[in-house]
């Protein structure tokens, strides 16, 4: 079940005066976004129904609606605390994380597939809906006590997000929340995760 952001409009009024916000604004943005999603059967392997979020980024107004919706959620959550760091999971988390971090005045930190990051790294193996892999983060990328939000396009089994969360916790980060555009609820991935989960387009608008 999705969490809601009951006081989003009050928070946004304080933090983002150029965009008056309301629950109605958030609901309208979600309807726009839902309509843009596409599904591809049997990709990348037989039996997988692939959820394609890329049409959102192909349309500037949908892209804006996505980032605005997530900004509204974050500003209304965590009892008014703001995240210090937005962590994005390679690759599709990189489409969301940097612009969201910029809006919030937070840092952006990537979780990358193994072998892509220079310098000392920590490594975490994981299993996902259609395979297994290793993630890495630079060892100094999260400072102890920093408040962290993890973003990605979709949670399926939760294996990828769990691996990201484990590395953040090893570095002493304080996980505020995991945020996704979509959730494959039948896989119960959220049950694996060590912090609250918010899914933008699941449940009621
Ligand atoms: O909940 P899980 O079962 O772990 O699956 C979710 C992950 O799978 C997809 O990424 P993928 O590994 O396909 O990488 P990509 O973003 O580089 O395409 C998706 O973007 C999530 O990161
Ligand atoms: N069904 C799915 N569609 C898109 N991305 C995914 N990542 C894991 N499962 C997925």
Tell me: the pLDDT tens digits for 37-50? 999 999 999 999 99
pTM, two decimals, is 0.90
CA 171 to chain centre: 19
Q: For residue 23, what pLDDT is reported?
A: 80
Plot region of 113 (φ>0 → left; ψ -120 to 50 → alpha; else → beta): beta
CA 123 to chain centre: 20
**Is 50 near ligand 2, meaning CB less than 6 Å away?**
yes
The helix or strand, by DSSP H or E, that contains position 119, with its residue range, turns out to be none
Q: Which atom of ligand 2 is nearest to the CA of 92?
A: 5
Q: Which atom of ligand 2 is nearest to the CA of 53?
A: 4
DSSP-derived secondary structure letter, 49? E
- Ranges 30-34, 55-59, 111-115, 177-181: which has the least confidence: 30-34
Helices 8-15 and 23-34, packing angle to 10 deg? 100
What is the per-residue pLDDT across 105-160, written as a single tens digit (0 to 9) for each?
Answer: 999 999 999 999 999 999 999 998 888 999 999 999 999 999 999 999 999 999 99
Q: How far does the centroid of ligand 2 lie from the alpha carbon of residue 12, in Å?
A: 32
Q: How far does the centroid of ligand 2 lie from the alpha carbon of residue 10, in Å?
A: 34
Complex ipTM > 0.95: yes
Task: Please state, in angstroms and rounded to a whole number, the distance separating the CA atoms of residues 151 and 71.
Answer: 12
Closest CA to 16 of 79, 82, 60: 82
Task: Please state, in angstroms and rounded to a whole number, the distance separating the CA atoms of residues 145 and 139.
Answer: 15
At residue 29 the predicted structure's pLDDT band, cuts being 50, 70 and 90, is confident
Q: How far does the centroid of ligand 2 lie from the alpha carbon of residue 154, in Å?
A: 7
Q: How many residues does the chain have?
A: 205
């Amino acid at each position: 079940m999705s969490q809601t952001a009951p006081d989003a409009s009050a928070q946004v009024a304080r933090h983002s005066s150029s965009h008056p916000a309301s629950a109605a604004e958030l609901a309208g943005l979600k309807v726009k976004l839902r309509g843009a999603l596409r599904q591809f059967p049997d990709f990348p392997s037989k039996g997988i129904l692939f959820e394609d979020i890329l049409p959102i980024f192909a349309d500037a107004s949908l892209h804006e609606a996505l980032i605005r919706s997530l900004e509204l959620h974050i500003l209304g959550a965590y009892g008014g605390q703001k995240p210090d760091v937005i962590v994005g999971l390679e690759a599709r988390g990189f489409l969301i994380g940097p612009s969201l971090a910029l809006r919030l005045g937070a840092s952006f930190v990537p979780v990358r597939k193994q072998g892509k990051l220079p310098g000392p790294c920590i490594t975490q193996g994981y299993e996902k809906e259609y395979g297994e892999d290793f993630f890495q983060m630079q060892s100094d990328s999260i400072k102890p006590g920093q408040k962290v939000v993890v973003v990605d396009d979709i949670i399926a089994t939760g294996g990828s997000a769990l691996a990201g969360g484990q590395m953040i916790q090893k570095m002493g980060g304080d996980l505020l929340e995991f945020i996704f555009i979509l959730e494959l609820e039948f896989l119960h991935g959220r049950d694996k995760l060590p912090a609250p989960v918010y899914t933008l387009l699941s449940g009621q608008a």
